[in-house]
């Protein structure tokens, strides 16, 4: 199936360019012009991928993107486990995002932890007409009474809030005062703001800055003795336990993780983060803002890292250790050495089954680039990738550190384009989201969800790499993909056999 | 190290090992956790009658509601028409959510577009988004019809779909005679069942009443056909196929409106079918001539049925008919309305369901159940339980209204097994949690979210409802018809037997009852 291996770079480039031209033909002229800027073939040596990004999606094209609310409630705030997050507005947003992101946490749900509960103000027509602030006041009281062990509350705005002129900030201030300085955070993440989830991340970061850091008092927080080795994990949502399989490595090398943002995180951890010696940033896209803020305000350096696949993990461990003394540097080497036998065994087992297989990705956040190394560790090749809500700095990082010459790049791809690309390039695997999964499986293309790890995971760290390798193998090498054609449909069968 | 290449373990086992357990224990100090004794005290307190009283006194906060918003229902109904693309006017994130939600339940693709309105559209209105959006969708996805509905954003700013579609057509977005039915589906009114109703009514109105003033209204020429409307239904694939089988058995000329049983169950054979099956647009138009329209779910079709009745048809509605009597009523109604005899085969199928109930009812008899879900589903399941001699102790529907409560209460009052049983309209699953603690039952029937209640209260969950994310393929089997009744019976029985086995399997202690025959 792997077309790429039999062609030269020039041929692949020409084919991909032609493919882009072909796809653009479907559009009305104005749309074709706009979409053309988001599609490109990567040229080695360029500083970015040559596509426009973080621009409004075009109406009616079936963009895969979500909204600011999804970026704030769904991604950044939702995993903070000891706070109640109110989906403020009509019932749907909270309902569709209820429990579906797999941000693992340890806690007594409904008593001291609230991640997998759906709190909503369930707006009715009268709330739209008369405003929802009074209802919000009552909701905050009801939460205090029925969930007394919550450590804080956030108000995640849905579209109507900003349109009907509610003053959730005033309500938050008043109620916080009434409850003795309780942390109540209004978040203006209405879904119509911005062009994708991305602005929601930014707004959520700003809310942490203004309503958590902005309210820190000198009352002895944090409640533990600082050490020179304190770090915070930023931008890991603990999907399937990712942050845990990362944390264990950092601690094994001698660091102390004082906060997780935000998977399995707590308000106390957010509040303690200004005491960290280094912020280590996994999902740059969703949490670079607060990292930059902490650098500016508290002088905490931050460094990006990548815990997908052994090559990048080792590189990252050394990079992180570079901020510390020899003890930590030795610790990093010790960790790399400790896990080398596992890495060797995983690669020995899975690489022969996956060598040369091609992959097309379309995900959000950091993954369109971060997972490339893990595939390469298994001998696989990523021939196309794109970001749901990336910015130019993401494409720069992608171009400079990750993708190969002639890789097909598609920003804010839509259903039509993605189907045509996959149909034409026939990758051995597509890694994208739930909305894409069944489309490609119907086409007979193996698929893994690369947002939720397809209900598996963790994929971070060495433990996670073993799972990643197993999962890619079971997707690609499932016997079912050889049986999608009925045996009596002779012509197609002959073609399939010839292709094998 | 617990991980190995020979036996790769994932999240289910990985974190249980000592390294991770120690790590998580050490993490606690940074969390500023609550005193475990206090956590325990509050946990126990939430199980009390006192907590229940406070919980039921809630006026503003909803916790774990069992309902979604209108446009989800509109999308669900729209894809039930031939080559129809649902187009939701408003913010784009909503559409990503509907598609994900439907895909997670059906394990199928779900195609739908958004007009991607942002801040500028919030200020100036979404006309340009509609105009560009329709043109793009039309060119890219080659639909035969685009069915427009709205998110709450478009509703709050007051966009006028009728005018916008008209203007878009004038600007050449789609041909003037291209079908673009529409429905306003504000998320702050009703729920997904309301959205289903509005969208379906919008489509029928489009075809029957002159396509928004662009064509003559159809004149009804009554024929002998029957229209069937399934309503919002997680089992639409199995159910609509079963209904069609019954109609064909009886030789009844029929049209299933919003027939999405194919598009949510396409084969994997190398081809992605964005559209598949569905009510043809011709059939949708001709449905005006039918003798009668039957709705399988009253509360999904209140406006639609009223609209159909205004056009002179007989209308009959059911409440998610499950089991013997409800199916009898449905079959008899079909026969009455069509004048067709009920074939012997259906009598035999009925007899098999009676046979199964007679064989097994002693295991269900007297058992107490809590049920939650959409209003019609709750009613249908409660009626079946009463028929089995079981007690539907708590019947809760977040999107049920007062009329539903009255009808539900009347049903419960009509049976000796319904005495002391209670219907709860407008309540959510946090209310249900209190009910299960203070008035325990033997089994809970509900959707996937019921697993949280099962975990907290220990009430075994029988998964029937929407959405079901964590079990696969059940939507392919019917719950309607005598065959469907049998499926529901088996689901209930399997859980009952599993529970008996689970409670009698301690070696040398309880396993005298670990019977091989039950």
Could you read off the pLDDT of B423-452 as tens digits, one per residue? 999 999 999 999 999 999 999 999 999 999
A117: domain CATH number is: 3.40.50.1980
Whether residue A3 lies inside any domain: the answer is: no
**Which one of A22, A60, A101, A439 would you mutate to disrupt binding with B, by most B Cβ within 10 Å of its Cβ?**
A60
Instruction: Measure in Å the smallest separation between the Cα of A400 and chain B Cα atoms.
Output: 31
Q: Are A136 and A171 in contact (CB under 8 A)?
A: yes
A237 lies in the same domain as A161: no
SS3 A153: strand
Q: Is A201 a catalytic residue?
A: yes
User: A167-185: b or e for each residue (b if 16 or more CB lie within 10 Å)?
Assistant: ebeebbeebbeeeeebbbb
Q: Residue B96 and residue A67: Cβ atoms within 8 Å? A: yes
- In 3D space, the residue among A483, A457, A451, A455 whose CA is nearest the CA of residue A470 turns out to be A457
DSSP B476: G
Helices (H), A64-113: 68-69, 92-96
A411 lies in the same domain as A458: yes
Whether residue A242 lies inside any domain: the answer is: yes
Distance of CA A19 to the CA centre of its chain: 28
Q: What is d(CA B447, CA B371) in angstroms, rounded to the nearest whole number?
A: 10
Whether residue A77 lies inside any domain: the answer is: yes
A234 lies in the same domain as A336: yes
Name the CA dihedral angle for B186, B190, B192, B198, rounded to a multiple of 10 degrees.
Answer: -60
Q: What is d(CA B75, CA B90) in angstroms, rounded to the nearest whole number?
A: 14
Residues of chain B contacting A146 with CB distance shorter than 8 Å: 51, 54-55, 58, 61, 63, 430
Name the CA dihedral angle for A368, A374, A378, A379, rounded to a multiple of 10 degrees.
Answer: 50
Catalytic residue among A70, A189, A314, A321: A70
pLDDT at position B517:
97
Q: Is B19 exposed, middle or buried (0-12, 13-18, 19+ CB in 10 A)?
A: middle
Domains of chain B: 68-317 (3.40.50.1980), 345-504 (3.40.50.1980)
A34 lies in the same domain as A114: no
- C-alpha distance from residue B377 to each of B249, B354, B374 (Å): 25, 21, 5
Dihedral sign for Cα atoms in the order A71, A72, A76, A81: negative
Q: Is B115 exposed, middle or buried (0-12, 13-18, 19+ CB in 10 A)?
A: buried
Whether residue A489 lies inside any domain: the answer is: no
Q: Is A93 a catalytic residue?
A: no
Distance of CA B34 to the CA centre of its chain: 39
Q: Residue A92 and residue B68: Cβ atoms within 8 Å? A: yes
Catalytic residue among A85, A101, A193, A202: A101
Residues 6+ away with beta carbon under 8 Å from B325: B383, B387
DSSP A359: E
Q: What is d(CA A207, CA B42) in angstroms, rounded to the nearest whole number?
A: 30
Whether residue A490 lies inside any domain: the answer is: no
Q: What is d(CA B349, CA B352) in angstroms, rounded to the nearest whole number?
A: 5
Q: Residue B270 and residue A484: Cβ atoms within 8 Å? A: yes
Please give the helix or strand (H or E) that residue B70 lies within, else none.
helix B70-78
**Which one of B2, B8, B19, B194 would you mutate to disrupt binding with A, by most A Cβ within 10 Å of its Cβ?**
B8
Tell me: cis bond preceding A344? Omega within 30 of 0 counts: no
A361 lies in the same domain as A341: no
Whether residue A2 lies inside any domain: the answer is: no
Residues of chain B contacting A62 with CB distance shorter than 8 Å: 111-114, 137, 140-141
Return the residue of B nearest to A244 by Cα.
B20
A206 lies in the same domain as A259: no
The CB density around residue A363, as the number of other CB atoms within 10 Å, is: 23
Q: What is d(CA B516, CA B509) in angstroms, rounded to the nearest whole number?
A: 17
Instruction: Report the residue from A148, A247, A462 with minimal CB separation from B42.
Output: A148
Name the CA dihedral angle for A391, A392, A393, A397, rounded to a multiple of 10 degrees.
Answer: 110
Catalytic residue among A42, A201, A370, A460: A201
Beta strands in B247-313 (DSSP E): 254-257, 292-295
The CB density around residue B342, as the number of other CB atoms within 10 Å, is: 16
> What percent of chain A is modeled with pLDDT above 90?
94
Q: Is A70 a catalytic residue?
A: yes
> How far separated are the first and last CA of chain A, in Å rounded?
7
Counting Cα atoms < 13 Å in the Cβ hemisphere of A2 gives 19
- C-alpha distance from residue A359 to each of A299, A407, A473, B268 (Å): 40, 11, 12, 20
Please give the helix or strand (H or E) that residue B462 lies within, else none.
strand B461-463
Dihedral sign for Cα atoms in the order A92, A95, A96, A97: positive
- In 3D space, the residue among A344, A239, A117, A349 whose CA is nearest the CA of residue B11 turns out to be A239
Kindly give the pairing relationship between strand A119-120 and strand B62-63: antiparallel
Bridge partner residues of B392 (DSSP): B369
Q: Are A90 and B187 in contact (CB under 8 A)?
A: yes
Please count the structural domains in chain A. Answer: 3
pLDDT at position A489:
87
Q: Residue A247 and residue B186: Cβ atoms within 8 Å? A: no
Q: What is d(CA B77, CA B475) in angstroms, rounded to the nearest whole number?
A: 16
Residues 6+ away with beta carbon under 8 Å from B66: B372, B373, B396, B397, B398, B399, B428, B429, B446, B447, B449, B465
SS (H, E, C) A407-449: CEEECCCEHHHHHHHHHHHCCCEEEECHHHHHHHHHCCCCEEE
Q: What is d(CA A43, CA A20) in angstroms, rounded to the nearest whole number?
A: 15
Catalytic residue among B95, B112, B152, B256: B152
A406 lies in the same domain as A332: no
A383 lies in the same domain as A321: no
A421 lies in the same domain as A475: yes
A452 lies in the same domain as A472: yes
Instruction: Measure in Å the smallest separation between the Cα of B137 and chain A Cα atoms.
Output: 5
Q: Which domain holds residue A451?
A: 9-61+354-480
Tell whether B51 is within 8 A of chain A (Cβ).
Answer: yes
Residue A216: phi and psi, rounded to 5, are -65, 135
**Ordered DSSP codes for B71-107:** HHHHHHHHTTBTTEEEEEES-HHHHHHHHHHHHHHHS
Domain end call among A345, A380, A404: A345
Q: What angle do CA B319, B322, B327 make, to 5 degrees?
A: 90
Q: Are A445 and B278 in contact (CB under 8 A)?
A: no
Q: What is d(CA A476, CA A490) in angstroms, rounded to the nearest whole number?
A: 24
Q: What is d(CA B170, CA A85) in angstroms, rounded to the nearest whole number?
A: 45
Low-confidence ranges of chain A (pLDDT < 70): 1-6, 218-222, 490-500
The ipTM is: 0.98
- In 3D space, the residue among B108, B113, B471 whose CA is nearest the CA of residue A441 turns out to be B108
Residue B196: phi and psi, rounded to 5, are -60, -50
pLDDT at position A223:
78
Q: Residue B114 and residue A63: Cβ atoms within 8 Å? A: yes
Q: What is d(CA B452, CA B462) in angstroms, rounded to the nearest whole number?
A: 13
pLDDT at position B63:
98
Q: Residue B452 and residue A109: Cβ atoms within 8 Å? A: yes
Q: Is B156 a catalytic residue?
A: yes
Residues of chain A contacting B62 with CB distance shorter than 8 Å: 91, 118-122
Q: What is d(CA B100, CA B113) in angstroms, rounded to the nearest whole number?
A: 13
Q: Are B489 and B356 in contact (CB under 8 A)?
A: yes
Per-residue pLDDT of chain B (518 residues; tens, 9 = 90+): 899 999 999 999 999 999 999 999 999 999 999 999 999 999 999 999 999 999 999 999 999 999 999 999 999 999 999 999 999 999 999 999 999 999 999 999 999 999 999 999 999 999 999 999 999 999 999 999 999 999 999 999 999 999 999 999 999 999 999 999 999 999 999 999 999 999 999 999 999 999 999 999 999 999 999 999 999 999 999 999 999 999 999 999 999 999 999 999 999 999 999 999 999 999 999 999 999 999 999 999 999 999 999 999 999 999 999 999 999 999 999 999 999 999 999 999 999 999 999 999 999 999 999 999 999 999 999 999 999 999 999 999 999 999 999 999 999 999 999 999 999 999 999 999 999 999 999 999 999 999 999 999 999 999 999 999 999 999 999 999 999 999 999 999 999 999 999 999 999 999 999 999 99
Q: Residue A149 and residue B156: Cβ atoms within 8 Å? A: no
Instruction: Report the residue from B91, B133, B141 with minimal CB separation from A192.
Output: B91
Using only C-alpha atoms, what is the Rg of chain A?
24
User: B471-493: b or e for each residue (b if 16 or more CB lie within 10 Å)?
Assistant: eeebbebbbbbbbbbbbbbebbb
Whether residue A114 lies inside any domain: the answer is: yes
Residues 6+ away with beta carbon under 8 Å from B336: none
Q: Residue B30 and residue A266: Cβ atoms within 8 Å? A: yes
Beta strands in A250-292 (DSSP E): 256-262, 278-281
A358 lies in the same domain as A405: yes
Q: Are B100 and A435 in contact (CB under 8 A)?
A: yes
A74 lies in the same domain as A208: yes
Instruction: Measure in Å the smallest separation between the Cα of A260 and chain B Cα atoms.
Output: 10
Residues of chain A contacting B267 with CB distance shorter than 8 Å: 442
Whether residue A486 lies inside any domain: the answer is: no
């Amino acid at each position: 199936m792997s077309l790429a291996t039999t062609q030269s770079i020039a041929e692949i480039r020409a084919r991909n360019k032609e493919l882009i031209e072909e796809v653009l033909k479907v559009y009305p002229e104005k749309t074709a012009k706009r979409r053309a800027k988001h599609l490109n073939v990567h040229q080695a040596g360029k500083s970015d991928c040559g596509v426009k990004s973080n621009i409004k999606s075009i109406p009616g094209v079936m963009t895969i993107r979500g909204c600011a609310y999804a970026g704030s409630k769904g991604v950044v705030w939702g995993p903070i486990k000891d706070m109640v997050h109110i989906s403020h507005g009509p019932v749907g947003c909270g309902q569709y995002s209820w429990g579906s992101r797999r941000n693992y946490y340890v806690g007594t749900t409904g008593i001291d932890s609230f991640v997998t509960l759906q709190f909503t103000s369930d707006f009715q027509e009268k709330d739209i007409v008369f405003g929802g602030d009074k209802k919000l006041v009552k909701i905050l009281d009801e939460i205090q009474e029925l969930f007394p062990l919550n450590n804080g509350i956030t108000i995640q705005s849905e579209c109507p809030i900003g349109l009907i002129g509610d003053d959730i900030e005033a309500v938050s201030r008043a109620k916080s005062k009434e409850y003795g300085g309780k942390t109540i955070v209004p978040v203006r993440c209405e879904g119509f703001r911005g062009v994708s989830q991305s602005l929601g991340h930014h707004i959520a970061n700003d809310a942490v800055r203004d309503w958590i850091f902005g309210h820190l008092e000198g009352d002895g927080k944090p409640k533990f003795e600082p050490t020179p080795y304190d770090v915070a994990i930023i931008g890991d949502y603990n999907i399937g336990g990712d942050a845990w399989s990362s944390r264990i490595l950092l601690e094994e090398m001698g660091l102390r993780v004082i906060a997780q943002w935000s998977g399995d995180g707590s308000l106390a951890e957010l509040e303690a983060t200004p005491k960290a010696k280094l912020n280590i940033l996994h999902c740059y896209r969703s949490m670079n803002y607060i990292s930059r803020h902490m650098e500016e305000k508290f002088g905490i350096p931050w460094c990006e890292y990548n815990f997908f696949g052994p090559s990048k993990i080792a590189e990252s461990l050394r990079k992180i250790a570079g901020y510390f003394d020899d003890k930590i540097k030795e610790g990093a080497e010790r960790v790399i050495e400790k896990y080398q036998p596992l890495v060797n065994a995983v690669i020995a087992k899975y690489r022969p089954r996956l060598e040369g297989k091609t992959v097309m990705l379309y995900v959000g956040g950091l993954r369109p680039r971060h997972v490339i190394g893990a595939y390469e560790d298994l001998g696989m090749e990523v021939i196309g990738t794109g970001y749901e809500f990336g910015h130019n700095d993401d494409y720069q990082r992608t171009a400079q550190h990750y993708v190969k010459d002639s890789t097909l790049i598609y920003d804010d791809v839509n259903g039509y384009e993605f189907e045509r690309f996959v149909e034409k390039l026939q990758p051995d695997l597509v890694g994208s989201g739930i909305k894409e999964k069944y489309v490609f499986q119907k086409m007979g293309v193996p698929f893994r969800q690369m947002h939720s790890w397809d209900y598996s995971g963790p994929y971070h760290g060495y433990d996670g790499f073993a799972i990643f390798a197993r999962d890619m193998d079971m997707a690609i090498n499932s016997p079912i993909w050889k049986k999608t054609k009925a045996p009596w449909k002779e012509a197609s069968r002959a073609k399939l056999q010839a292709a094998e | 190290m617990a991980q190995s290449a020979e036996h790769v373990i994932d999240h289910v086992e990985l974190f249980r090992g000592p390294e991770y357990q120690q790590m998580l224990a050490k993490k606690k100090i940074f969390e500023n956790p609550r005193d475990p004794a206090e956590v325990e005290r509050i946990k126990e307190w939430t199980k009390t009658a006192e907590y229940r009283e406070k919980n039921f006194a809630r006026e503003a906060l909803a916790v774990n509601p069992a309902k979604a918003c209108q446009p989800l229902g509109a999308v669900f109904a729209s894809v039930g028409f031939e080559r129809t693309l649902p187009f939701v006017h408003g913010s784009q994130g909503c559409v990503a959510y509907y598609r994900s939600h439907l895909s997670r339940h059906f394990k199928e693709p779900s195609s739908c577009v958004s007009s991607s309105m942002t801040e500028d559209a919030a200020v100036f209105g979404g006309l340009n988004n509609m105009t560009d959006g329709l043109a793009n969708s039309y060119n890219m996805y080659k639909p035969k019809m685009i069915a427009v509905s709205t998110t709450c954003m478009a509703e709050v700013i007051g966009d006028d779909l009728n005018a916008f579609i008209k203007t878009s057509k004038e600007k050449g977005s789609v041909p003037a005679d291209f079908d673009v039915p529409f429905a306003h589906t504000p998320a702050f009114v009703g729920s997904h069942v309301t959205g289903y109703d509005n969208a379906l009514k919008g489509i029928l109105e489009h075809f029957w009443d002159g396509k928004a003033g662009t064509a003559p209204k159809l004149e009804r020429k009554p024929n002998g056909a029957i229209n069937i409307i399934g309503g919002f239904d997680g089992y639409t694939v199995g159910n609509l196929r079963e209904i069609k089988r019954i109609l064909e058995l009886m030789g009844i000329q029929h049209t299933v409106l919003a027939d999405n049983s194919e598009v949510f169950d396409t084969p994997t054979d190398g081809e992605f079918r964005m559209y598949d099956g569905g009510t043809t647009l011709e059939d949708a138009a001709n449905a005006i001539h039918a003798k009668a329209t039957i709705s399988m779910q009253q509360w999904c079709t209140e406006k639609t049925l009223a609209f159909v009745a205004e056009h002179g048809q007989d209308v009959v509605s059911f409440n998610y008919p499950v089991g013997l009597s409800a199916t009898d009523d449905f079959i008899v109604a079909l026969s009455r309305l069509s004048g067709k005899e009920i074939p012997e085969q259906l009598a035999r199928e009925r007899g098999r369901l009676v046979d199964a109930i007679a064989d097994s009812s002693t295991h269900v008899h007297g058992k107490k159940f809590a049920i939650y879900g959409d209003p019609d589903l709750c009613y249908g399941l409660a009626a079946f339980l009463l028929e089995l001699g079981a007690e539907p102790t708590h019947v809760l529907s977040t999107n049920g209204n007062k009329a539903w409560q009255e009808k539900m209460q009347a049903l419960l009052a009509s049976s000796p097994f319904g005495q002391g049983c209670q219907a709860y309209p407008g309540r959510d699953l946090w209310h249900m949690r209190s009910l299960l603690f203070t008035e325990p039952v033997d089994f809970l029937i509900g959707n996937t979210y019921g697993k949280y209640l099962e975990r907290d209260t220990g009430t075994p969950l029988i998964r029937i409802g929407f959405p079901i994310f964590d079990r696969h393929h059940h939507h392919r089997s019917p719950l309607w018809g005598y065959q469907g009744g049998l499926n529901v019976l088996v689901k209930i029985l399997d859980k009952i037997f599993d529970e008996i086995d689970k409670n009698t399997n301690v070696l040398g202690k309880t396993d005298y009852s670990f019977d091989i025959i039950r």
